[in-house]
Structure 1
Amino acid sequence: MFIAKVTGSVVATQKVGSMTGHKLLVVEPYRLEDKKRASMVSTGRTFIAVDTLGSGEGDYVLVCQGSSARLTPETKELPIDAVVIGIVDSVHIEKRNVYDRNGS
């Protein structure tokens, strides 16, 4: 599981029938900045993840990848490798708030 920022979406009008109606998001994994450990920074990679929670561009989300992505009730029959399993409200590292969804 990892934290990622939603940076876009994917529209595919032709796809496997079981994927019809599922929202596809472009997500960019983030990590803790090395030196000061006071912020999160991009890893420079992107993935496509199925979203069942209603997250949107700019949100930080929790992503589960691999065979575990098919362990939710909503995704157990889908041919997927990544799923959004949570929308991040805040991240605290060493008693320091490095991200807050409300901007505070």
Structure 2
Amino acid sequence: MFIARVTGSVVSSTKVSSMTGHKLMVVEPYRLEEKKRKSLVTTGRTFIAVDTLGAGENDYVLVVQGSSARLTPETKELPIDAMIIGIVDQVHIDKASVYARKDEK
């Protein structure tokens, strides 16, 4: 599992039928900044993840990959490799807040 920021979405009108109706988001994994450990920074990678929670652009989310992405009732029959399983409200490291969601939905 990792933290990522939603940077966009993917629209695909032609796809396997089991994927119809599933929202696809572009997510960019983040990690803890190495030296000061007071902020999250990008890893420079991107993934496409299925979203069943309603995450929006710029939200930080929890993402699982591989077989874990197919362990929910909504995804057990889908040909997916990554899924958003949570929207992050706060991240605390060494008792300090390194991220707090500003706009609660």
Paired position in structure 2 for 1:64: 64
Amino acid aligned to 2:43: T
> 1:37 is aligned with what amino acid?
R
For 2:10 and 2:102, how far apart are their aligned partners in 1?
26
C-alpha separation in 2, matches of 1:102 and 1:72: 28
* 1:102 maps to 2:91: no
TM-score, normalised by the number of residues in structure 2: 0.97
What TM-score do you get using the length of structure 1 for normalisation? 0.98
| RMSD (Å) for aligned C-alpha atoms | 0.8
Deviation at 1:102, TM superposition (A): 2.0
1 CA distance for matches of 2:65 and 2:72?
12
Indicate the SS of the match to 2:84: strand
Structure 1 residue ranges (4+ consecutive) displaced by more than 4 angstroms after TM superposition: none
Contiguous gaps of at least 5 residues in structure 1: none
Q: Give identity over the alignment, percent.
A: 79
Q: Size of the alignment, in residue pairs?
A: 103
Spell out, residue by residue over 1:40-91, the C-alpha distance to the aligned partner (whole angstroms, 9 max, x if none): 0000000000000000100000000011100011100000000000000000
Query: Which runs of 5 or more residues in structure 2 are unaligned?
Result: none
Partner of 1:85, secondary structure, is: strand
Counterpart residue type for residue 43 of structure 1: T
Task: Give SS of 1:86's match.
Answer: strand
Counterparts of 2:74 and 2:93, CA distance in 1: 31
